[in-house]
C-alpha cells in the first residue's frame, strides 16, 4: 500500500484516565475539547486496577492548542496528570474523484455523481472506494422527500458502495462507457 505523501502538522496525543466525572459533564467537555482545537477526541470505558469504572480519554491535539486542552482536563474534569505522546497521522494515498453510477430503488433508476475517495492496493491492483457519510444522508433525505422512497441508511450506503465498486471495475477493464470517473 502506498502511503499518503501529505502529512498533517505535528500533533500530540494526550492519554488521560478519568474516573470521577459523570456522563453529562464528559459530553459537554468533549465538545469543548473540539472547540479548543482538538482534532479528534475519543472516550473509552475502562476498569481501573482496583475494579472501579472509569474512562480513557484520547485527545489528538496540535501543539499550539495544547494549553487550552490541558486546562479543560484539569479544571473541568479534575484530572491531575496525563500522558503526552508525540503523534504522526498516517494513511494510504487516496485520490478524490466523482464516480457516475446508476442506482435503482423503488422501481426507479437514478443516475448519480458520487463523490468518493479511492485507495488503490498496490499489491493487488484492487481499488476500494470510501463514500462520504454526509452524501448518503443527503441522498436518503432527497429520496424520501422527492420520491417517497424511505430506505434505511445502511442499505442505501451498501447499494452505493456496490454500484461504485462495479463502476470502478468496469472502468479498469474498459468494459463500458458508463461508470466513468472524473477527478474531483
- The tens-digit pLDDT sequence of the chain (184 residues) is 565 656 566 789 999 999 888 888 999 999 999 999 999 999 999 998 888 899 999 999 999 999 999 999 999 999 999 999 998 888 888 889 998 888 877 677 888 899 999 998 888 888 889 999 999 999 999 989 988 888 899 999 999 999 998 888 888 787 544 445 554 4
Residue ending a domain, choose from 37, 56, 87: 87
- How far apart are alpha carbons 16 and 83 in whole angstroms? 6
| Residue 2 maps to a domain | no
| Residue 5 maps to a domain | no
Residues 165 and 136 in one domain: yes
Question: What is the pTM (predicted TM-score) of this model?
Answer: 0.65
Residue ending a domain, choose from 38, 62, 87: 87
Query: What's residue 175's pLDDT?
Result: 57
| Residue 82 maps to a domain | yes
| Residue 4 maps to a domain | no
Whole-Å CA distances, 67 to 60, 78, 85, 170: 13, 15, 15, 51
| Residue 3 maps to a domain | no
**What's the total number of domains in the chain?**
2
What SS3 class is residue 17? Answer: strand
What are the helix (H) ranges across 36-181?
66-71, 77, 133-147, 153-173
- Domain interval for residue 83: 11-87
Residues 52 and 98 in one domain: no
Residues 83 and 99 in one domain: no
What are the helix (H) ranges across 39-103?
66-71, 77
Query: What's residue 178's pLDDT?
Result: 45
Amino acid at each position: 500500500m502506498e502511503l499518503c505523501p501529505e502529512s498533517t502538522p505535528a500533533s500530540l496525543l494526550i492519554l488521560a484516565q478519568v474516573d470521577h466525572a459523570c456522563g453529562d459533564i464528559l459530553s459537554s467537555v468533549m465538545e469543548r475539547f473540539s472547540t479548543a482545537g482538538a482534532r479528534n477526541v475519543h472516550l473509552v470505558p475502562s476498569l481501573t486496577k482496583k475494579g472501579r469504572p472509569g474512562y480513557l480519554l484520547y485527545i489528538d491535539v496540535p501543539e499550539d492548542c495544547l494549553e487550552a486542552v490541558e486546562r479543560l482536563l484539569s479544571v473541568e474534569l479534575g484530572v491531575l496528570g496525563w500522558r503526552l505522546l508525540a503523534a504522526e497521522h498516517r494513511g494510504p494515498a487516496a485520490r478524490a474523484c466523482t464516480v457516475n453510477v446508476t442506482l435503482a430503488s423503488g422501481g426507479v433508476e437514478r443516475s448519480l455523481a458520487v463523490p468518493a475517495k479511492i485507495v488503490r492496493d498496490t499489491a493487488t491492483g484492487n481499488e476500494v472506494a470510501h463514500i462520504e457519510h454526509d452524501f448518503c444522508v443527503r441522498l436518503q433525505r432527497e429520496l424520501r422527500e422527492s420520491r417517497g422512497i424511505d430506505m434505511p441508511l445502511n442499505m442505501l450506503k451498501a447499494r452505493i458502495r456496490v454500484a461504485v465498486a462495479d463502476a470502478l471495475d468496469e472502468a479498469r477493464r474498459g468494459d463500458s462507457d458508463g461508470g466513468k470517473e472524473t477527478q474531483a
